[in-house]
Structures are given as C-alpha cells and as structure tokens.
C-alpha cells in the first residue's frame, strides 16, 4: 500500500467521491483557488471547476445553512469550516436545522451533508483557534460525529460519511495533516460506528481519540518496556459509538484510561466512562476508571503552557502505572 499524508488521504476521498457521484461538491472559505487553509483541497478546483469547488463568503452560518439546504434538495455537499472554533457561528443551522429535518419530516427529507473542520491545539494558534468541540455535537440527536486518527481511517470514514444520508461532523486534528500512513490504492470504505484496536494488550485499555491515539501508542510502547501491556482502542466515530468493542476490551484488561484533548470536564471521556460503568464491564474493573483531558482553562498561546494544557504521553504512562499499582 502506498504511504501518503493524512491531508492527501482526505483529498483522495473527496476526489473519488466527486468522480463517483456528480451530486458531491465542496464548499467553504478558501477551499478553491487557495486550496484550503491546510492544503487539503489543492487541485480540486482545477479538476472539477468552480461549480463543484465553491469559495464562500466569510460566514460560517451561510456555509452550514447552504450545505443543509442543498442537501435537502438532493445534493451531497462537503462543507468546510476553517477552524472548529468557528462552528459556534453555525450552531443554529447545524443543531436546529440539519440535525432535526429528517425527524421532523418523518424521514421524507434527508440531509446528506458532511461538515469537515480542523480542530485541536499544538500549533500556537491560541484560545480562539485551537479548541476541540466535538462533544457539543455528540449531544445532538440527528448528528453523527467522526474523528479519524490515521490517513487510512480518514479516507475510508470520509467516503462513508459522504455516502451517509445524515449530517456528519467530520473532525480533523491539525497536527494529523502531516502524518503518514499506508492507504490502499483500491476502493474501500470504513463503516461508521466501528472502533479499531490500534494495539492489542492485556493489562490496561487506553481509549483515545484523534491525535491522542498517537500519544497513546507512544505511551504504550514505553509501558511495554516496563512490563505493562497496554491495549489502545480508537473509537474512530463518537456517534455512532461502538460500545461493544469498548466493553469487550475493558473486560479483557480490567483497567481503563480514557484520554482526549478537549477539556476533561464534561468531555466525551465522561460518556465513555458512563458507558463502561453501565455495562457488565464494570464487574471486571480492578481499579477506578481514569480520565485525562485538557485543562479547565482557555488554551494558552505560550508554547510551554500550551504543551502543559494538552495531555501528553507521560500523563498516559503515569495514569496506566497508577492503575497497575492499585492491583
């Protein structure tokens, strides 16, 4: 399999779906001539033209609203919000319109739209351009939420998201764009709602999302050298959530560390912890569930403070060792 960048995997998925289905089009700020703020859509406007790669006004509300409206009338838009922080401007269109239209029309109307958005810290972009707000959207019935951590997952999950008849929030971490991974040249998709074990283990389960999957794998390698065999589980999609895979992993290891970049308080880790606590995996736990997340503050600009705000591999290692020492 060829090794390509995460951003290239996203671009390949867009291109393949645009070739497969003429209803698919791309829209957003600077996605056309400029090629996207992070270079994801470079070359698409030259291949597909301005009708199918549309530069929009600087209005997130317009982008989300136009995507929802065009989806209802039969198109399959892939809209980009340049930073996830700016989805705050589009919440009415996403939460009160796109998420509810299919339900309110008794299934007769569908909203097959994807909203792609870069999230996460680590680039020195400070408090208004670094947030991970995925948990906001997991709270809304009618929205699906996808957070791929590898180029392989990004391509396969984006293709499935574009083909889905419901609105999908597709979250891409900025620090993943330059990561590489093996991606098949042939056609493939990954179904939404299926988790992936990135590393098998027997002593502790580390459930991680997005860029934290890479930190979890780094931590697992270090833990292995000290005799702790960690399993790394990536949900890949938060809605729908593969609860069965989570429960089975925790039942096997008896210990669990949950890590995400968003603020720990009310983050998606709380939902994962509740899922485990309400399942029969609870009876298999040998120690309390550990949650790691971002600090309870706006994200700092200073690089040292920013690094301290984000969970690091060392934090995951420490949490896993503490769980191991309790038993």
Residue pair 146/161 in contact (Cβ under 8 Å)? The answer is yes
Phi, psi of 79 (to 5 degrees): -95, 145
- Can you read off the two tokens belonging to residue 105? 């029309």
Peptide bond into 114 cis (omega under 30): no
**Per the residue annotation, which of 129, 173, 211, 260 is the catalytic one?**
129
- How many whole angstroms separate alpha carbon 178 and alpha carbon 233? 22
Which residues partner with 239 through β-bridges? 145
CB atoms within 10 A of CB 317: 23
- How many whole angstroms separate alpha carbon 211 and alpha carbon 205? 17
In eight-state DSSP terms, residue 312 is: -
Residue pair 137/94 in contact (Cβ under 8 Å)? The answer is yes
Is residue 129 annotated as a catalytic residue, yes or no? yes
Quickly list DSSP for 121-165.
SSSS--TTS----HHHHHTSTT-EEE---SHHHHHHHHHHHHH-S
- Beta strands 53-55; 24-28: pairing state: parallel
CB atoms within 10 A of CB 65: 18
Phi, psi of 260 (to 5 degrees): -145, 165
Quickly list DSSP for 244-275.
HHHHHHHHHHS-EEEEEEEESTT-HHHHHHHH
Q: CA 59 → CA 55, 68, 70, 80, distances in Å?
A: 11, 14, 16, 11
HSE-up (13 A, CA, CB side) for residue 80: 27
Catalytic residues: 129
């Amino acid at each position: 399999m060829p090794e390509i960048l995460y951003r290239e995997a996203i671009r390949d998925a867009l291109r393949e779906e645009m070739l497969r289905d003429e209803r698919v089009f791309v829209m957003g700020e600077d996605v056309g001539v400029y090629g996207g703020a992070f270079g994801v859509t470079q070359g698409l406007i030259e291949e597909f033209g301005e009708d199918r790669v549309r530069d929009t006004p600087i209005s997130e509300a317009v982008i989300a609203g136009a995507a929802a409206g065009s989806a209802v009338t039969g198109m399959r838009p892939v809209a980009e919000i340049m930073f996830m922080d700016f989805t705050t401007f589009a919440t009415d269109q996403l939460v009160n319109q796109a998420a509810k239209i299919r339900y309110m029309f008794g299934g007769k109307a569908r909203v097959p739209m994807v909203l792609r958005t870069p999230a996460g810290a680590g680039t020195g972009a400070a408090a208004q351009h670094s947030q991970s707000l995925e948990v906001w959207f997991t709270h809304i019935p009618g929205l699906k939420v996808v957070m791929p951590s590898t180029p392989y997952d990004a391509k396969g999950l984006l293709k499935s998201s574009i083909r889905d008849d419901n609105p999908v929030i597709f979250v891409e971490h900025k620090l993943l764009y330059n990561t590489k991974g093996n991606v098949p040249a042939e056609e493939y998709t990954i179904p939404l709602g299926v988790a992936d074990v990135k590393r098998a283990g027997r002593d502790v389960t580390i459930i991680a999302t997005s860029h934290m999957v890479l930190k979890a794998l780094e931590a697992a390698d270090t833990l292995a050298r000290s005799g702790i065999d960690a399993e790394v589980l990536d949900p890949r999609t938060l809605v729908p959530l593969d609860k069965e895979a989570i429960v089975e992993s925790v039942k096997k290891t008896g210990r669990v560390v949950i890590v995400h970049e968003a603020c720990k308080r009310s983050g998606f880790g709380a939902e994962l912890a509740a899922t485990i606590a309400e399942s029969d995996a609870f009876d298999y736990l040998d120690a309390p569930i550990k949650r790691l997340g971002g600090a309870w503050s706006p994200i700092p600009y200073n690089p040292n403070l920013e690094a301290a705000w984000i969970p690091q591999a060392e934090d995951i290692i420490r949490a896993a060792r503490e769980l191991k020492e309790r038993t």
